[in-house]
Amino acid sequence: MMSLQNGAVGSATERFGRIQSVLASVFAKYAPLVGLLAVVAVLGVEFRYRLDFAQQPLEPYRVFFELLIAGLVVAVLRSKVGLVTYGMFGPIIISFILVESGIFWGLVLFTNVFLIALATYLVIEPFRLGTAHRIGALVMVVSIGITSFHVMSDTGVLPAQVDALQVFFPAIVTAWYADRFARELSERDWRAPAIRFSWTVVAIVIAAAIIGNEALITWFMETPETWALVLAANVYFGTRSNMRVKEYLRFSNVYRGSRLSAAGSTIRAGLHNAWARLNQLVGRDVSRVEPTTVMSMQRRNRLIKEYNPPHLYPEIDKASMKRTFHGTGVSTPETYALVGSLDELETAQSIIDGRDEFVIKPDSGYGGEGIVVVTGRNEDGTFETSTGDKTPDELLGHVRSIVEGQYDPMGLEGVAVIEGLIHPDDHLLSIAGQGVPDIRVIVFKGFPIMAMTRLPTEESDGAANLHMGAVGVGLDVANGQAQGGYQSTNKWFDEHPDTGVDLEAFAIPGWAEILSTAVKAAEVSRLGYTGVDIVVDEDEGPMVLEINARPGLGIQNSTFDGLLERTTFIESLPDSFDLKPPAEKIELARQWDAAGWDEDATELAEQWETPEWERSRDDVELAMREDGVSEARTDESDGRSADDAGSATTGVSDR
């Protein structure tokens, strides 16, 4: 467990002042919620007195109570278990069908309608319809399909259970599911959509099984005093940012212990923190603890909410970020065109006609979706691309589909970014053997706290995205030393699966420049917590590919270390550290990384706050202590040279 803060008990006056302050803030936060719960509770009591429940007066409104319970079930499955489903409301609505028709025939009907929509998508896919026409076509065929199944049931061809819901079927929701499934299938092959589909089915079945329990729903409906409790439970679960069940599995190896001990640690930390909160109410300072050093998704989301203001989000898509970087000294690939409307397709046409190498990407794509890398022109006029040979018309069609919102989260419209092709430096390219390897640096409050390089593989088809099969190799922030490879399917490699290069025996050349580029880019973006993707071009050096406001957590499996330990370390620093220049922040981060991020932050803070004329003696002691730590780490790592660690702590040179 990790201690967060320590404090001493002050005088009686101070304690009284603190009690007042704590009570005021608790009141401001909780009073409105208590008021809302009180309103619902009083309403429940009113129901009890005004209605005769022996007559089952709420029976016509049963569906609303089923909805309420199903909402809680699906919310818990998503946020606590970590099931990845297609939205939240879809599974709730579809679970109602299963209640009416029985689980088997309900699932059969849902899956058949889903398959009809999916098949329709795959048939019309080559025509690259815009979002509106595409969804329109899916809903049309789905509507005909549902009608056909009902008529077949009416005429006895199919069982009567299929006809359980004569008119109602969430055709649009199911068509939308199929649309998302097919798009993921096109971009990422079967695994990702299969996972989402499977867990959606699981959520639907669990929700249906619970709301299909008549006794439970009837009891809830006829006990109006409990309604407020369900609302309170939902709010309580929503405020807990602890690890989800799925994340215990995903990061099980980062815990460096059994999953059981990780769960035990979570319970102990929960009890301790509840005790700490009680003490805070009476003005005592008791250290809070984190159960683990691993950053969970909910904890990351809280960090993002605090450090990445929502008003910056419109400025961090690829197109806007390129404009922002212009003139700041942060290198990005040359932009040939930003195509934001169908009127501008001529610009894209002229680039396709006149150039042999370029990259087409959507400005708001996720996880590498929609990126086509054009690497050359064949003799027959077609292009060699990352997604196979394409004709000029097909490339133009891809630009059009981006503009029409194919990759936009809302499916409305998008901007196609056409930019120059990067020729990666030989060093990483020789390790990966193909594609464009990149380097992800997590920057928090201006400090680079974690890094990895993502090496394309044959499995990823040359893409540098972990979920597509690329290998992530954790890097020491101190010196860019590799720590071994990891694939998102929780496979670890000592050697690159295609080239056989040892993934613990190399370091990134020019590491200081890469860190400097990442920190500068994060500074320009004004995001407090970000993942900066950098590619080293053979001529231009480090170039920023992308800034991520919600960087993924898989990097923890690559570095075999938890992010939470490092963000907590940075947060515990005095405010004066925020004002330090980027170069100094980088130097500090490299030193802390070499020391394993377990130095006492307060002690380091005092070290750096000491006046310059007093620091010389302290510097010598610090260097000596860190040399000792570095040597110890070198011994542990069995294979890392003392030079690596030494150069990291002193920041003298890069490999």
Partner 1 sequence: MKRPLGSVIMLALLLPGVWLADGQTLTIPVPTELPIETAGAIDVGVPELLFAGIPTLFVCAMFLEALGHVRERQPPS
Residues engaged in binding partner 1 (CB under 8 A)? 104, 107-108, 111-112, 115-116, 118-120, 122-123, 125-126, 141, 144-145, 148-149, 152, 157-159, 162, 190-191, 194-195, 197-199, 201, 249, 253, 484, 486, 488-494, 560
Closer residue to partner 1, CB minimum distance, 201 or 415: 201
CB of 479 to partner 1, least distance (A): 21
Q: Find all residues with CB under 8 Å of 18, minimum gap 6, and list them.
A: 10, 283
d(CA 573, CA 585) in angstroms, rounded, equals 12
Q: What does the alpha-carbon distance between residue 309 and residue 408 come to, in Å, rounded to a whole number?
A: 21
Q: Which amino acid, 93?
A: I
DSSP string, 246-270: HHHHHTTTTTTS-HHHHHHHHHHHH
State the DSSP H helix or E strand holding residue 23, giving kind and residue range, or none if neither: helix 12-50
Which residue, 161 or 241, is less far from partner 1 as judged by CB?
A: 161
Cα–Cα distance list, 15 to 24, 275, 286 (Å): 14, 18, 13
Residues with Cβ < 8 Å from 153, sequence gap 6 or more? 159, 160, 162, 163
Of 153 and 308, which has the nearer Cβ to partner 1? 153
- Residue closer to partner 1, measured from CB, 331 or 406: 406
User: 478 CB contacts (<8 Å, ≥6 apart)?
Assistant: 590, 591, 593, 594, 645, 648, 649
Q: At what angle do helices 12-50 and 259-281 cross, to 10 degrees?
A: 100
Of the two residues 421 and 501, which places its CB atom closer to partner 1 in the complex? Answer: 501
Q: Which residue number, 183 or 520, has a Cβ lying nearer to partner 1?
A: 183
Tell me the closest approach of the beta carbon of residue 433 to partner 1, in angstroms. Answer: 21
Would you say 187 or 317 has its CB closer to partner 1? 187
112: how many CB neighbours lie within 10 A of its CB?
A: 15
Q: Report in angstroms how near the CB of residue 149 gets to partner 1 at its nearest.
A: 8
Q: 189 vs 498, which CB is nearer to partner 1?
A: 189
Q: What angle do CA 649, 652, 655 make, to 5 degrees?
A: 95
Residues 484 and 78: their CA atoms lie apart, in Å, by: 32
Q: What's CA 633's distance to the chain center, in Å?
A: 31
For partner 1, give the closer residue by CB, 182 or 418: 182
The answer for 526, left when phi > 0, alpha when psi is -120 to 50, beta otherwise, is left
CB 228 within 8 A of CB 40: yes
Q: Which residue is associated with the tokens 């990005």? A: 332
**Tokens read off for 103:** 């689980």
Q: Which H/E stretch holds residue 119?
A: helix 103-124
Residue 632 β-bridge partners: none
Query: Cβ distance 541 to 331 under 8 Å?
Result: yes
Which tokens sit at 547?
């800034």
> In this structure, are residues 208 and 106 in contact, taking their beta carbons and an 8 Å threshold?
yes
CB-nearer residue toward partner 1: 208 or 321: 208
Give 127 or 237: the residue with its C-beta nearer to partner 1. 127
